[in-house]
Amino acid sequence: MRSTRAFTLIELLAVMVILGVLLTLLAPAVYAVKRQTTLATSSSALRQLSIAAQAYLAENEGRFFRSREDTTGGVQWWFGFENASGPKGEGQRLLDKSKGPLGPYIADSAGTVPDFAFTSMGASFKPKFKNGYFGFGVNTELTGGPTGQVASKLKLINQLARPGQIAFFSTCAQINTFQAPASGKNPMLEEFYFFNTTDCANTIHFRHAGNAIVAFADGSQREVPGDRSSFNSRLPTACVGKLPPSMIVP
Give residue-wise pLDDT tens across range 97-108: 888 898 888 754
Q: What is the pLDDT of residues 12-67, one digit of tens each?
A: 666 676 666 655 654 454 444 455 556 677 888 888 889 999 999 999 999 999 99
pLDDT at residue 116, rounded to an integer = 72
Above 60 in pLDDT, residue 204? yes
Q: Is the pTM of this model over 0.85?
A: no
Cα 108 from chain centroid? 15
pLDDT at residue 216, rounded to an integer = 98
Say if CB 172 and CB 191 are below 8 A apart.
yes
Region of poorest pLDDT, from 47-61, 77-91, 108-122: 108-122
pLDDT at residue 31, rounded to an integer = 44
